[in-house]
Amino acid sequence: MNVALVGVTGYSGMILYQLLQQHPEVAAIRLFGHPDSQTQPLEEAVPNFIGDQTPIEPLDPAVILADCNLIFFATSAGVTTELAAPFIAADFPVIDLSGDYRLQDPQVFTKWYHKPAPAVSALQQSHYGLAEFANAAGHSYIANPGCYATATLLGLAPLVQQHLIAPDSIIVDAKSGTSGAGKKLATSTHFSQTNENLQLYKVNQHQHIPEIMQQLKVWDQNVPAIQFTTTLLPITRGIMSTIYAKTDANAEQLAGAFAATYAALPFVRVLPNGQMPNLKEVVGTNFCDLGVSYNPATQTVMVVSVIDNLIKGAAGQALQNFNQYFGFAATDGLQLATWLP
């Protein structure tokens, strides 16, 4: 099978390229840049890939439609909208790691992304690929979820789906390493600013909030809103999403809900007996680890969800959707080991 990848020079694109190289069903990976770019070897564009002479070619839809089975876009918000139209028109399979097609309402998109929205028809035909809960098979345009959204929704799913919490009580304290901001230079991610520091950012304004709300309302229309806070950690990779909500359920009911929801899913691990996960357990893997704790004094459930933002929160989940679309084994290309120590 031949696949195309646009955006290999970004962090998520780099990881996706590495994962595709070890996928047993992928025979060739063709790399593409912007249509007006010049062809250059990968090692020149990304020195980390020293010795890899694979060319990054200017994007040519005709070449991809003729020679590839699917295209991945690992591009920034707004870029995919400019480039995806020929593939949408041809009903050609696309897995999009950007946020361009995650939201079905164009007004919501414009409000949160501060960019013109894609066509309504394209937004409404895209599939939100939260891999544990929505099989990508049969959907030609797959919008890969955001990293914060992935961690948060996996932590909330059993509670919201089984109506175990007060729908107006959800509070999310989410923290991410600096790679979540991408490669673009910014004062907030400068080493001297992030080192030995914690910074809140985009409080109640993060662009992943509307996609979280969009999915929560699919599970329970009564969820009116969430309180969502994001903090930048002085680390490179990893997300920890700590979720609080009021509940009338007891500890046994809560544990049972998580066990039942995730028992058959290979990439979500629910820790036993109230144990809490940490980032070291998941960085370098496609796992989401969940810890659940109930405080009877306050009738509050706390869920801690941890992922590697570049794998489970981006490239790894894209590969899950790829496997689902073509009917491959769920773990193909994703049998990864945690980085130790």
Q: Using CA atoms, how far apart are residues 28 and 34, in angstroms rounded to an integer?
A: 20
Q: What DSSP designation does 48 have?
A: G
Q: How far apart are CA 115 and CA 109, in angstroms?
A: 8
68 an active-site residue? no
Annotated catalytic residue: which of 147, 172, 268, 314?
A: 147
Contacts of 251 (CB under 8 A, 6+ apart): 274, 294, 296
Residue at 35: amino acid letter: P
- Give CA–CA dist 64/76, Å, rounded: 20
Pairing, β 70-73 against β 171-176: unpaired
- The residues that bridge with 304 in the sheet, in sequence order, are 242, 291
As a whole number of angstroms, the distance between CA 33 and CA 98 comes to 15
- For the range 118-125, what are the long-range contacts, defined as Cβ-Cβ under 8 Å and sequence gap of 24 or more? 118/81, 118/84, 122/84, 122/88, 125/88
By C-alpha distance, which of 24, 52, 57, 23 is closest to 40? 57
User: Which residues are catalytic, by number?
Assistant: 147
